[in-house]
Amino acid sequence: MGYMENNFVIEIKNLDVKINNKLILQNINLTLKEKEIMAIVGPNGGGKTTLIKTILGFYKPSAGTIKIMGKQFQKIPKGLIGYLPQKDLINYNFPILVYDVVLMGRRILKKFLEKTTDKDKEICLDALDKVGMSGYLNRPFNKLSGGQKQRVLIARLLAMKPKILLFDEPATGLDVVGQEDFYELINKLKEEEKISILMVTHDIGVISSYVDMIACLNRTIHYHGPPEHGIQPEILEKVFGKNIQFVIHDHRCATCRGFSDE
């Protein structure tokens, strides 16, 4: 069955992942559809980054399968998935112009020493325009704000023309306005570019109108469904522990006793 038949761009079945003989992920079943944004939420150390890296092929499953666009790959084709890792893995102070950062998204698709073309330049300019950064073309990347740098890095991913975007803790280090801007941007990209987006976070505040689906992960999937269906308090307790309190993105306080604003 091809992915167009079941509409899944990512399909994970019965996945186990062991690292150094330690079971990190167990019996993961998860699907991501075309033009869908999913947030995987869970505590630090719950296996979220391991899941992302397994999807990307950095780790091999010890059991189960992962299909991308309906196929199992030994190696993910270049440009199929755009990945933005956690901020502490990125050198934000490297002296380079914004345009050259985005151009890296085209270079990664090319053979060694293959030159970039006018078409590549056009794609890069278009990517910057899509993230609202076309006016910063010749600015030094290291002089931008945190939110602006993130938009440029997303433009670099868009320059690859991916079908799927993966984000690892994308809201970390952004203020409230920056977080709202990020979620609005990815929804715009989902609609206009028809991109599927999977992001992992320990911030359960993303269960708002900004995502289509949510999965609660702590070693295994405890919930997988639309946020509007609500997540039972006992599930949140399994994932995050007792006495959870957080603020969701419509600015209401929510606790394990239910999503009340009393």
Q: Are strands 81-84 and 164-168 parallel, antiparallel or unpaired?
A: parallel
CA distance 163 to 197: 9
Q: What is the pLDDT of residues 178-219, one digit of tens each?
A: 888 999 999 999 999 999 999 998 777 666 678 999 999 999
pLDDT above 90 for 58:
yes
Which pTM was predicted?
0.87
Distance of CA 10 to the CA centre of its chain: 13
Q: Is 243 exposed, middle or buried (0-12, 13-18, 19+ CB in 10 A)?
A: exposed
Band (pLDDT 50/70/90 cuts) for residue 244 is low
**Mean pLDDT value across the chain:** 86
CA distance 87 to 139: 20
* Of 131, 118, 124, the residue nearest 100 (C-alpha): 124
What pLDDT score was predicted for residue 3?
47
pLDDT above 60 for 7:
yes
Q: What is the pLDDT of residues 15-42, one digit of tens each?
A: 999 999 999 999 999 999 999 999 999 8
Specify whether the CB–CB gap between 212 and 200 falls below 8 A.
Answer: no
Distance of CA 203 to the CA centre of its chain: 13
